Amino acid sequence: MKIKRLLYWAVTVFVLDQLTKFWVLHAIAGQQPIVVIPNFFELVYVTNRGAAFGIFANLPDPYRAYVLLGVSGIAVLLIFFYYFSLPAQAKGMQIALSLILGGAAGNLYDRFARGEVVDFLRVHWYEKWVSWGWGKTVWEFKLEWPSFNVADMAISLAVIWLLWALIKEERKTASAEEA
């Protein structure tokens, strides 16, 4: 049952990630961003040659591929070992690890099929304050999160889920030891 759960969630994330990237490559690439929520959320076509937040993007080509393959490979192996060491009743943690695995596989596929990861979700907030008398921008404030994709969302949410589960388990263990 554990292997079915792993495959179900990992494959679901991988397929959703690749389908959305396929759509982006054919509908948005080379176009202006599609504003979904003005001044907050838009669909864009951005590529990332590195890992999260562009880490390793400036490494020369042959080395970058080896580093990213090595890091991703080690992460996948650690996920597998940890996943199969979990007790059968730890279904939430199993699902979270499966989501991380599916997201890692989606981005890894991009790196080797395209040489870069396709990102397309942009969240931002811009605020300008213009002085009426002078017509100049007096104050400007920008918050922008790096563009991301479905794989990134699955990984991020699953890591938060794992941390929450580990903290919950730690508190449970501490309570049991005090009693």
Catalytic residue among 17, 61, 110, 119: 119
Rounded Cα distance between 31 and 29, Å, is: 6
CA distances from 129 to 41, 124, 133 (A): 21, 17, 12
Contact status, residue 133 vs residue 41, Cβ threshold 8 Å: no
DSSP per-residue codes, 21-87: HHHHHHHTTTS--EEEETTTEEEEEEEESSSGGGTTTTS-HHHHHHHHHHHHHHHHHHHHHHHHHS-
What's the confidence (pLDDT) of residue 40?
Answer: 92
What's the confidence (pLDDT) of residue 100?
Answer: 95
What's the confidence (pLDDT) of residue 32?
Answer: 93
What's the confidence (pLDDT) of residue 114?
Answer: 87
What's the confidence (pLDDT) of residue 52?
Answer: 73
- Per-residue confidence in pLDDT tens, the chain, 179 aa: 788 998 999 999 999 999 999 999 999 988 999 999 998 999 999 998 877 767 777 788 778 878 888 888 888 889 989 999 998 888 889 999 999 999 999 998 998 888 889 999 999 987 766 666 666 766 677 888 889 999 999 999 999 999 998 888 778 777 777 76
What's the confidence (pLDDT) of residue 166?
Answer: 85
Angle ∠(20,98,66) on CA atoms, nearest 5: 75
Rounded Cα distance between 51 and 107, Å, is: 9
Of 48, 55, 108, give the one whose Cα is nearest residue 77. Answer: 108
CA distances from 44 to 14, 23, 41 (A): 20, 12, 10
Catalytic residue among 17, 61, 110, 152: 152
What's the confidence (pLDDT) of residue 147?
Answer: 92
Q: Is 119 marked active-site?
A: yes
